[in-house]
Chain A
């Protein structure tokens, strides 16, 4: 049952028939020129991103840290494990939630802390009582200082948002310059079979709803840690 589909489509077609709207007041030459830039017209107007990986990592670090993301750039997985161990001790973690993934598995090797995995389903209360959720990601976006997650790269929908601390393990080769590139990546990876969930996480959860004062950890994780391994 689709409801009033025929009615609404009929109304739309009637409204648009022989009834053109004036085009927006734009500087047309600008827009036309931009359209010829490989179809990614928005790149001309959005913030500039450096072309090299070091520039992009530096930009990512700057923006994400400004958003209170804890960003660590390390050379090896072993080094990442060290950072992780420090966080675990500091947070007195009793239970970790994670999912099957080459890098999360490597990160959690030998951690000794009780953990649950989500990729085959889980009990909500089990996930809710975890201190931290550890995931991979699709890409990191230099332009926005955020990461992109999906069902496969982040163990489902809730793992990266329910536990109060979210730790992301990623490789430098996953860095992309901007959102346009991020969308290109998922289109290439998933073709026509998109996952039911994907999205961007740009900093720890926050709200300004009380007197416009910034508070972290409104509903999602209060802490976001990104471990970037070369």
Chain B
């Protein structure tokens, strides 16, 4: 078994056994469900909005080169630099180069999962740059030296007590259990950092081709400060973040807020069109936009699953996924977890090593139902399974299903096998739950049903005789 698949089994076993943790995660999502439903109900037609969003992203993704070029032309005309990074190395190297050439000492960051994907912080810190995460949740997990637990709510797995302990240990702050006081502690620390940082690195929620702007959605204001005060702004985004028109934001900003956070609009939604323009009183002298491929073009090439590039990283699929809710964000072992992560990771990091995430699902479809841009998530998991079975079949499965298909291909053989099952079932009863029990994966927590003494088929034949 590949390491990643084995790790997933180990981690998911650990987290599912932790019932208080599972209950905590469930509780954390409860408020979100109510507010999300309230906001969806405010729409005149949420399903109509999803249709339009899906069509808009279809247009964007299927004409990706055209829109990327339009975006670049417009934003470069205002003095921004656009760097096209074919892979993570190229993106990291470019950002390091910009930092070194400009004698940057201190870097402040706002939330960007793309930077997690390319392990940017590690690379910057290795070269001696101080990097501060300004988003409260990201700051907390940075201090704990952990990855974000959820792509929208990075610290949702932590209690206030754990956060208080963390701040006491790392910041020497007084003990407090109050979320308000803990937030103010972080606010005070960050204020100095905003004012002193030489470079601000942000993510991007949407890149608008028509007007050459990047749009950032947030609640705290840390992204606004990250992009206002330092003299250099680096904006990182996956190439798929493109939207054709400025007006598209009037649909996507409310949908992202509703699906992602259960809000009508998040507090700050800001469009940046370039570095400080002549006559403007503040803003960065330099703006660098880093467009990241990192195998997104491989997903693009898979026409069946191309719609997954329409993802707006709202996290709605994670929030409804019973797998995610029970195993938590860390079990996935990769940047993007939950249903969207399970769909795209085989494309971004290799099918052989990551197809197990597509297998670890009951295919309930709640994700597909929740997705604001109508990505066919749970069917893509099925497709990944098919692709995986074709390219690197598990020998045990291949043989078992071969046998299954042989048996089911001949109904008399199937009934003969079922008859044998009846004979051997009492033997299973003898070893039920023990190490010898072949069904112990089931019987550990659930009773296994007894085969009926006669099948429906035999009963019908007996009762209804010759009647077909």
Contact = CB atoms under 8 A, between A and B. Distances in A.
Nearest to A18: B303
Given A42-B250, A156-B280, A63 B264 contact: yes
Nearest to A7: B86
B83 interface: yes
A119 B283 CA distance: 12
Interface string B208-250: 0001010000011110110111000000000100000011011
Interface stretch (A81-89, A107-115, A167-175, A216-224): A216-224
B229 A158 contact: yes
Contacts of A24: 51, 54-55, 58, 307, 374
Given A217-B183, A220-B220, A23 B251 contact: no
A156 B229 CA distance: 11
B43 to A, nearest CB: 6
B246 A187 contact: yes
Contacts of B408: none
- Looking at chain A's contact residues, the main secondary structure is loop
A79 interface: no
Interface string B257-289: 000010011111111111111001111000100
Contacts of A5: 84
Contact of B155 (A15, A45, A179, A210): A210
Contacts of B264: 47, 63, 144-145, 202
B137 interface: yes
Contacts of B247: 40, 42, 180, 183-184
Nearest to B86: A4
A179 B281 contact: no
B298 to A, nearest CB: 8
Nearest to B184: A217
A226 B247 CA distance: 25
Interface in B75-89: 78, 82-86
Interface residues of B, number: 107
A203 interface: yes
B250 A203 contact: no
A26 interface: yes
Contact of A210 (B61, B64, B136, B254): B136
Given A8-B293, A118-B281, A201-B268, A211 B179 contact: yes
Interface in A198-228: 198-213, 215, 217-221
Contacts of B301: 11, 14-15, 19
A25 interface: yes
Interface stretch (A50-58, A70-78, A121-129): A121-129
Which residue among B137, B163, B280, B307 has the maximum number of chain A CB atoms within 10 Å of its CB? B280
5 closest residue pairs by CB, A with B: A220-B221, A199-B270, A179-B250, A15-B301, A4-B86
Given A197-B280, A208-B261, 18 more contacts: A2-B82, A5-B84, A19-B303, A24-B54, A42-B52, A48-B44, A119-B281, A120-B281, A121-B281, A121-B282, A151-B280, A158-B225, A158-B229, A162-B228, A178-B250, A180-B250, A200-B270, A217-B183
